[in-house]
Amino acid sequence: MTDVTECYLPQIAALSSMLASGLIIAEVLQDGQQRGAVSRVLLSMSAGDILFSLGWFLASWAQHLSWSCVFQGFIIQLGYMASLLSNASLAMVYLLMIQYNWPQGRIQTKIPRMMLYLWSFCLVTALVPLALDMYRFTSPVCWIGSPKSQDTTFIIASLQVIPIWSCIFLDSVTMLLIFRKARLLEAQVDNVDQYQESLDSHTRTTEDDSVQIDLLSLPDVNASLLRGSEGLGDRESHHGVFSFVEFMLFEPVPMVFPYQDEAGGYGMNIDGSMLISSAVSNTSRAHDPREDQVDPVEDYMIPQEEQVTGQPEEQNPETAITREPLQDGSVASNERANNNGYIEPLTNIGSNSTSERSADSTPNMPRSHKRSQLIAQQGMWYIAGFFMTYGFATISVLVFAIASKWNPPLDRTSYFFLAGQAVFNFLVFSRGRQQMKTRMGAKLKSWIWNGAAHCRTVFCLLKQRRCLPLSDELHQSAMDTTSTVTVLQHNNGIKHGPGNINEQQCQCNAEQQRTTTTTTQVFTNGPH
C-alpha cells in the first residue's frame, strides 16, 4: 500500500500533469503572434510544470544510478522554481490588469525581460546544489538532500522552503487586492439604481414621452454614483452579501453599466468616470487601445459575434432598443436600467421575474466593462490552484517544524498534489477560453465543462424550486412537458435540454405556487 500511495499515485498525477501542460502549450502556440500577456506567462509556467512533473514521474526509478538521480533532482529543482515564480508572475500580471488598469501592450513589453530574469534565477538555484553535490535520493524522489558530513540546512531552506512561503505570501496579498477591486466594481453595479434616479431627476418629458438627458447635470449624477462606492463593508448587493465564496464558486453578474452607444453617449467607464455625448466624449476621452485588442487565450466567454466584430449580436426587431435623435442633438430611447444594471425596454420594467426578461435586452456596452470581473475571477482561480497545489506541502513542513517528525499520510497527499499541479491549471485555462484550437483540448473541454454545466443546472433547479420528490407518474408527465431547462453557454452557444420539470407538477412553497409556469433559463458566463 505504501508503494502505491508513495510512488504510483504521484506517477499517475505527474503523467496527467504533463499532458495538461502540453495541451496548454499547444493551445497557446496556436495563437501565434496574437498571444497576450497572460498567455506568455502560461507558457513559462507550463514549461516549468513539465520539468517538475517529469522528475516526479521518474519517481524511485532514477535512484539506482548516480547520474540519473542527479538528473532527476536537477529537473525537479529547475521546474519547481520556474513553476513557483511563474505563478507569482501570473498573479502580478492579473493585478496590473485589474487593480492598476495596465493595457495588454504595456504588460507585453515587460514579459520577455521578466522571463529572462526568471529562468536565469531558476537555473542558478538548480546549479548550486549540483556544484555542492546535494542531489541525492530523499524518498520518494531524488532532490536536494544534506550530505552526511555537512550541515546544509540553510541552503536547503533557501532553495526549497523560503521560495514557496514567499510566493504564498505574495499570492495571498495579490488575491486580496484583486478581490477588493472586484468588490468595488460590484458596488458600482449595485448603485445603478442611484444612477438612474439621479438621471430621472434631471430629465424632462417631451410630447412623445421620450426621455431627454440634461448634460449640465452630469457632475451631480457622477457625485451621487461615486458616493455609492463608500462603505463597502456595510453594503449588500442585489444577490445577497457579496462574499469571497460567492465570487469564487458562482459566476457573478457581468459588469454591466448604464450605457448607450456612442451616438447616445451615456455610459460609465470601468473606473466610474462618465461617458457623455459623442460630441464631448470624442474630444475629451482618448481612445483606449485595450478596447480593440483581443487576446485569443483570454476571451473569457464573450459571445462569438462580439469577438469577431467587437459589437453585440443583432437584436430581435420586436425587442430591439430604439433611439431617436431629439432637436438638441441628444437621444431618446425606449430603454431603462433595471435593478441589476441591465438595460431593457420600458415594456419589461414592470416585471420582476427573471424568466420574463428577453435575452435581447442585454445592453450595448464596452467590452472592457464586460471582461473585467471575469478576468478577476480567472486570476483568482489560478491563485487558488497554486494554494491547493503547494498548500499540503507547506502544511507538511510546518507539522515537521512543530512536531520534529514527518506525517506520512500528509506527506503522501502533498506528493500527489505536487506531481499533478498542472491539471488544475488546465481546468482554469479551458474554463476561460472561448474555443480550444486543438482536437484533444476541445474534447476534454467539452467532456469536463458540459458535464459540470449539467450538474450545476440540476443543482440550481433543486435549490431554487425546492420541489418534493415526484412520483413515477408525475415524473414521466414532467418529462413530457414543453418546459425546458436551457443552459446558454457563451463558449459554444449550445442548448442543453430537455431537463424538464414543470412548476405545476412540483409541490413548492407558497410564493412559487403563485407564479405562472415559465421557461427557466440558467445563464452562465462559463461553466463552474
> What digits encode the pLDDT tens for the residues 269-318?
333 333 333 333 333 344 444 444 444 334 444 433 334 344 444 444 44
Q: Which of 113-117, 206-210, 401-405, 457-461 has the lowest mean pLDDT?
A: 206-210
- Rounded average pLDDT over 503-528: 38
Query: How, if at all, do strands 142-144 and 203-205 pair?
Result: unpaired
Beta-bridge partners for 524: 489
Rounded to an integer, what is the distance from CA 461 to the centroid of its chain?
Answer: 24
> What digits encode the pLDDT tens for the residues 141-192?
899 988 776 778 888 889 998 999 999 999 999 999 988 887 777 776 666 5
Confidence of residue 14 (pLDDT cuts 50, 70, 90): very high
**Residue positions counted in the chain:** 528
Distance CA 209, CA 452 (A): 47
Average pLDDT, the chain: 66
> What digits encode the pLDDT tens for the residues 80-138?
999 999 999 999 999 998 888 888 889 989 999 999 999 999 999 999 999 988 998 88
Residue 489 has pLDDT above 50, yes or no: no
Percentage of the residues of the chain whose pLDDT score is greater than 70? 49
- Rounded average pLDDT over 10-24: 93
Cis peptide before 498 (omega within 30 of 0): yes
As given in the structure block, the three cell numbers for residue 479 are 418529462
Residue 8 has what pLDDT?
A: 81
Residue 472 has pLDDT above 70, yes or no: no
Query: In the Cβ-directed half-sphere of 5, how many Cα atoms lie within 13 Å?
Result: 9
Query: How, if at all, do strands 486-489 and 521-524 pair?
Result: parallel
Contact 184, 226 (CB under 8 A): no
Give the H or E element holding residue 211. Answer: strand 211-213
Confidence of residue 515 (pLDDT cuts 50, 70, 90): very low
Confidence of residue 425 (pLDDT cuts 50, 70, 90): very high
DSSP assignment letter at 7: I
Percentage of the residues of the chain whose pLDDT score is greater than 90? 25
Cis peptide before 147 (omega within 30 of 0): no
Residue 81 has what pLDDT?
A: 96
CB burial string 77-114: b at 16+ within 10 A, e below: bbbbbbbbbbbbbbbbbbbbbbeeebbbeebbeebeeb
Confidence of residue 451 (pLDDT cuts 50, 70, 90): confident
> What digits encode the pLDDT tens for the residues 36-92?
889 999 999 999 999 999 999 988 788 778 889 999 999 999 999 999 999 999 999
Instruction: Kindly write down the DSSP assignment for every residue of 226-265, as one continuous string.
Output: HHTTS-GGG--BBTBS--HHHHHHSPPPP-------TTT-
As given in the structure block, the three cell numbers for residue 14 are 505527474
CB burial string 297-317: b at 16+ within 10 A, e below: bbbbbbbeebeeeeebeeeee
Distance CA 23, CA 117 (A): 25
The Cα-based distances of 91 to 2, 96, 176, 179, 228 in angstroms read 36, 9, 11, 12, 29
Confidence of residue 512 (pLDDT cuts 50, 70, 90): very low
Residue 408 has pLDDT above 50, yes or no: yes
Distance CA 319, CA 348 (A): 10
Distance CA 343, CA 361 (A): 6
Q: What is the pTM of this model?
A: 0.60
- Rounded average pLDDT over 202-213: 46
CA dihedral sign, ordered 308, 312, 317, 319: positive
Distance CA 276, CA 244 (A): 34
- Rounded average pLDDT over 487-492: 40
Residue 253 has what pLDDT?
A: 35
> What digits encode the pLDDT tens for the residues 314-367?
444 444 444 444 444 444 444 333 333 333 333 333 333 333 333 333 343 344
